[in-house]
Chains A and B, each alone.
Chain A
Amino acid sequence: MAMPASEIEALIKAAFPDAQITIEDLAGDNDHFAATIISEAFRGMSRVRQHQLVYAALKGNMGGALHALALQTSAPE
């Protein structure tokens, strides 16, 4: 029931090719991650909408194979 960081990054990268992605494995257990994603695609969107786009990119894995992924999203400065 775990998902490696590389797989998470690949899914996000596929949806947001321009994104700068940082993924941290919080507990070293491949199950609790924090991701920071900076992409032009987020500009002008509410945080809820930004996170919804990331969850969509993860194709239903969030809340399933991916138990915990803390998200921080923004458009480039």
Chain B
Amino acid sequence: MEDPVFAEIKSKIDAAPVVLFMKGNPMFPQCGFSARVVQILKHSGVSFESVNVLEDPEIRDGIKVFSDWPTIPQLYVKGEFVGGCDIVTEMFQSGELQALLAEKGVSQDASA
């Protein structure tokens, strides 16, 4: 049987094309790394859902196992794990993030 926390995480990931697991919310990020990814997504004109892991310890621990990734933030695009702050920053700077979003059919003209 599937772990109920994993099932919940999966449903959050599937709830929107772009989902960011972060500390705090986009208006008030509570960690510099989460804040940076929010800035990049806003700058890229991407609408996204966020999950504040600080509100739910089970999600906070569960997402690390689910993604096999030890840190927050974590970015998912169309159900696929893209990376944490370092990878998202590197991909944004090289233009790969924009290319990935375009390839996945994610709109990049939302007003920030």
Contacts and interface: CB of A to CB of B under 8 A. Distances in A.
B83 A55 contact: no
Contacts of B71: 62-63
B64 interface: yes
Contacts of B33: 68
Question: Chain A interface mostly helix, strand, loop or mixed?
Answer: mixed
Given A48-B81, A63-B64, A70 B69 contact: no
B87 interface: yes
Contact of B86 (A60, A63, A64, A70): A70
Interface size bracket, A side: 10 to 19
A48 B69 CA distance: 9
Interface string A34-77: 00000000000001100110010000101110001011100000
Nearest to B82: A48
Contacts of A60: 70
A63 B65 CA distance: 12
Contacts of A52: 68-69
Contacts of A71: 86
27 contacts: A47-B83, A47-B87, A47-B90, A47-B91, A48-B69, A48-B81, A48-B82, A48-B83, A48-B87, A51-B83, A51-B84, A51-B86, A51-B87, A52-B68, A55-B69, A55-B70, A60-B70, A62-B70, A62-B71, A63-B64, A63-B71, A64-B70, A68-B33, A70-B85, A70-B86, A71-B86, A72-B90
Interface of A: 47-48, 51-52, 55, 60, 62-64, 68, 70-72
